[in-house]
Amino acid sequence: MPKKLGIVIAGLALFLLIGGGCTRTDAPADVSTDTDAPVEDTSPIKLGWLGPLTGDVSSVGTADREAAELAVTEINEAGGINGRMLEVTYEDGFCEGKTALAGGTKLINVDEVVAIVGGFCSGETLAVAPSAEEKHVVMLSPGSTAPSVTEAGDYIFRVVPSDGFQGKYAAEFVYNTLEKKKVAIVYAITDYAEGLANVFEEEYKKLGGEIVVKDSFLQESRDLKAQLTKVKNSEAEVLYFPTYTEAGVVGFKQAEELDLGIQILGPETLSDEKLVTAQGAEGTLYTVPVSNESEAFKTKFLEETGRDDMPVYASQTYDAVKILAQVIESVGTNGEDIKNELYNVKNYEGVSGMIGFDENGDLTSAEYKVMIIKDGKSEDYTK
pLDDT at 291 over 90: no
Of residues 64 and 17, more confidently modeled: 64
pLDDT at 36 over 90: no
Q: So what's the pLDDT on residue 376? A: 94
CA distance 96 to 219: 10
Q: So what's the pLDDT on residue 9? A: 36
pLDDT tens figures, 160-202: 999 999 999 999 999 999 999 999 999 999 999 999 999 999 9
Q: Which of the four pLDDT bands, split at 50, 70 and 90, describes residue 268?
A: very high
Q: Which of the four pLDDT bands, split at 50, 70 and 90, describes residue 37?
A: low
Which amino acid, 365? S
Mean pLDDT, rounded, for 219-245: 96
E strand or H helix at 298, and its extent?
helix 295-305
pLDDT tens figures, 77-135: 999 999 999 999 999 999 999 999 999 999 999 999 999 999 999 999 999 999 999 99
E strand or H helix at 254, and its extent?
helix 245-257
Going by their DSSP bridges, the two strands 115-118 and 45-51 should be labelled as parallel
pLDDT at 265 over 70: yes
pLDDT at 21 over 80: no
Please state, for a pLDDT cut of 90, what percent of the chain lies above it.
Answer: 82
CA distances from 147 to 46, 80, 168, 352 (A): 29, 35, 12, 21
Mean pLDDT, rounded, for 232-250: 96
The residue among 239, 236, 247 whose CA lies nearest residue 275 is 247
Helix, strand, coil percentages (3-state) for the chain, rounded to 5, are 45, 20, 35
Mean pLDDT, rounded, for 260-281: 95
Q: So what's the pLDDT on residue 280? A: 97
CA distances from 96 to 92, 101, 121, 153, 244 (A): 10, 9, 8, 19, 12
Mean pLDDT, rounded, for 16-23: 39
Please state, for a pLDDT cut of 70, what percent of the chain lies above it.
Answer: 90
Of residues 311 and 233, more confidently modeled: 233
Going from the N-terminus, what domains does the chain have, and what CATH number goes with each?
45-161+292-365 (3.40.50.2300), 164-289+369-380 (3.40.50.2300)
DSSP 97-127: HHHHHHHHHIIIIIS--SEEEE-SSHHHHHH
Mean pLDDT, rounded, for 61-72: 97
Determine the Cα angle at 68 with ends 133 and 286, to 5°.
90
Mean pLDDT, rounded, for 47-68: 95
Mean pLDDT of the residues in the chain: 91
pLDDT at 18 over 70: no
> Which residues have a Cβ under 8 Å from the Cβ of 12 and sit 6 or more positions away?
none
Q: Which of the four pLDDT bands, split at 50, 70 and 90, describes residue 345?
A: very high
pLDDT tens figures, 109-123: 999 999 999 999 999
